[in-house]
């Protein structure tokens, strides 16, 4: 308990103070948040780019390193990717994901690269059962915005990652 002199000191300090009246208004319902549903549906559709599991592309493999370039892209670009001349600006880690969730994340990454004008991205597949490591390149070559891909150099993930180049809008 407080000593009597401190109680008196407090009473003198708050003398003449009036009680505050509670006049805050609480609405009965929550205010409606307006969301542009068409935009939301379009964004959802954009992230659901269909990657076929049955498609078997002709991928170049050199020393068990996967690589691909679109036909209209200079072959030198693969050498630049292999050497690490491109620095990835976005990284996607797919460790522990299922094939379906990896597909959605991959589509989201490609959409983000296009929107944020990111030319190079890194996709970390990990080793694990090698399911995603083998499937990711097959999905990537199906997307029209992927210019090239190559197994990442050591500084960007080595055998457990893939570097991709994404076409940017003009």
pTM score, two decimals?
0.66
- Mean of the per-residue pLDDT values of the chain: 81
Please indicate, yes or no, if residue 113 is contained in any of the structural domains.
yes
Q: Which residue has the higher pLDDT, 37 or 65?
A: 65
Please indicate, yes or no, if residue 4 is contained in any of the structural domains.
no
Please indicate, yes or no, if residue 72 is contained in any of the structural domains.
yes
Query: From residue 79, how far is each of 13, 75, 122, 137, 139 by CA, in Å?
Result: 79, 8, 16, 17, 22
Residue 28: the pLDDT is 74
Residue 89: the pLDDT is 92
Q: Which residue has the higher pLDDT, 87 or 59?
A: 87
Describe the strand order of the beta sheet including 90-93 as a list of residue ranges.
60-62, 65-69, 146-151, 161-166, 120-124, 90-93
Q: Which residue has the higher pLDDT, 50 or 87?
A: 87
DSSP designation for 161: E
Please indicate, yes or no, if residue 119 is contained in any of the structural domains.
yes
Residue 88: the pLDDT is 92
Please indicate, yes or no, if residue 57 is contained in any of the structural domains.
no
CATH code of the domain covering residue 75: 3.30.1370.110
Q: According to DSSP H, which parts of 14-159 are helical?
A: 37-46, 76-83, 99-115, 131-140
Q: Domain of residue 95: give its range.
A: 65-166
- Domain count within the chain: 1
Average pLDDT over residues 17-39: 72
Please indicate, yes or no, if residue 78 is contained in any of the structural domains.
yes
Q: Which residue has the higher pLDDT, 64 or 117?
A: 117
Closest C-alpha among 159, 162, 92 to residue 128: 159
Q: Which residue has the higher pLDDT, 142 or 127?
A: 142
Please indicate, yes or no, if residue 90 is contained in any of the structural domains.
yes
Please indicate, yes or no, if residue 47 is contained in any of the structural domains.
no
């Amino acid at each position: 308990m407080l000593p009597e002199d401190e109680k008196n000191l407090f009473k003198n300090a708050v003398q003449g103070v009036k009680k505050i009246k509670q006049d805050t208004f609480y609405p009965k319902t929550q205010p409606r948040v307006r969301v542009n549903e068409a935009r939301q549906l379009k964004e959802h559709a954009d992230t659901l780019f269909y990657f076929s599991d049955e498609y078997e592309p002709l991928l170049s493999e050199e020393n068990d390193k996967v690589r691909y370039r679109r036909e209209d892209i200079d072959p030198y670009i693969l050498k630049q990717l292999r050497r690490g001349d491109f620095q990835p600006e976005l990284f996607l880690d797919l460790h522990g994901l299922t094939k379906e969730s990896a597909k959605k994340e991959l589509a989201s990454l490609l959409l983000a690269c296009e929107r944020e004008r990111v030319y190079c991205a890194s996709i970390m597949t990990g080793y694990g059962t090698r399911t995603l490591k083998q499937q990711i390149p097959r999905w990537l070559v199906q997307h029209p915005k992927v210019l090239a891909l190559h197994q990442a150099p050591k500084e960007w993930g080595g055998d457990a990652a893939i570097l991709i180049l994404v076409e940017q809008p003009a």
